[in-house]
Amino acid sequence: MAERNGKTQVYVTQFLAQLVDDARPIDQKEGRDDGREGRVGVIDAATDTLVKTIKLSAKATGFQSDGSTLDKTVSDGTAATKVDTLAFPNQLESIVVRGNRAYLPNTASSPNGPVKFNVNVQAFVSVIDLDADQEAVAETFNMNKGVQLEAVGKKLFPTNPAALAFKHNGSFEGFVLSRATDRLVRLVLDANNSNYVTSAESRTIWVYVETQAQFWQDYLTLWQRTTQKLLGQETEPVIEPAKDDRRFKHEQWSENAAFDFIKQSYLLSARCLHGTVKGADGLDPTTHQNVRREIGAELSR
């Protein structure tokens, strides 16, 4: 949710990418690296109406494939026969608003083969300009490009980036929660406020897997119980706010299935992020405390 130009607007992601609306027939889009696009709906909170759909287009990944499956070409290993790949934003789970920008960590897809470990899935942070309500194309960043900064033996691509929190003070620095890799990924905004770079020093922070595994299990349970609630069945909450948490006192946070889902999703994400930081290796006590505080403040915005 963001307030811009006197209006309160709600930004809602479509989880899966949609086919691009262009002149190509479907069979010329499906399976192509640029055949789909991420989408974010903008809802006017005053009228509860959809006022715009923001499109997040495919981007160059910085990686090359050994040919093209759809075009039936195979690289002979030379630079001339390598193919520059694109990826479209996909699996859009969360949005973080800071200033006049919204940031969306997502698992970007490059479905055109041939299959290769560094080609078919990318870890994007897509960026939206809230003043214009459109993608800030030049600011979207592929975190996988930072693998070159990893030490030998620890090179590991972020997978399924699901959540992001920025520090409120000091340098424009944030941490992305990467599922299935047991770590947070540290991002730093460069001096031009346009491109995102990964820090060569302490770029990644290793965390315990149990926190993320429990989050995923609980989130699946939440989806199941929300579906049951929408069908009129009685369900038990997966997680409940603390008794002294006044943010969710209104009965609609429990009675309305959609609001209840949003509430519990928030609480699960907060618990996972705090647990992740608590179990992180390589953080001194002061940084530990600061990161936990910043995550809590960011999630409460």
Residues in the chain: 301
Instruction: Name which of 202, 218, 203 is nearest 272 in CA terms.
Output: 218
- For every residue of 52-78, DSSP letters joined together read EEEEE--EEEEEEESEETTTTEE--SS
The pLDDT tens digits for 175-197 are 888 877 767 787 777 655 555 55
Lowest mean pLDDT across 26-35, 51-60, 161-170: 161-170
Quick: pLDDT tens for 68-106: 999 999 999 899 999 999 999 999 988 988 888 899 999
Task: State both tokens at 187.
Answer: 């991002």
Stated as kind and residue range, the H or E segment containing 294 is helix 285-299
What percent of the chain clears pLDDT 70, i.e. is strictly above it? 79
For residue 82, with 0-12 CB atoms within 10 Å meaning exposed, 13-18 middle and 19 or more buried, which class applies? Answer: middle
Dist CA 182 CA 57 (whole Å): 29
Using one digit for the tens of pLDDT, what is the confidence trace for 238-288?
999 988 888 888 989 999 999 999 999 989 888 887 776 665 555 667 766
**With 90 as the cut, is the pLDDT of residue 55 above it?**
yes
**Cβ–Cβ < 8 Å for 198, 149:** yes
Of 37, 33, 32, 2, nearest to 17 by C-alpha is 37
DSSP 8-state assignment for residue 235: -
Residue 86, amino acid: L
Whole-model pTM? 0.68
Q: Based on the number of CB atoms within 10 Å of its own CB, is 234 exposed (0-12), middle (13-18) or buried (19 or more)?
A: exposed
In whole angstroms, give the CA distance from residue 144 to residue 158.
7
Residue 82 near residue 66, CB atoms below 8 Å: yes
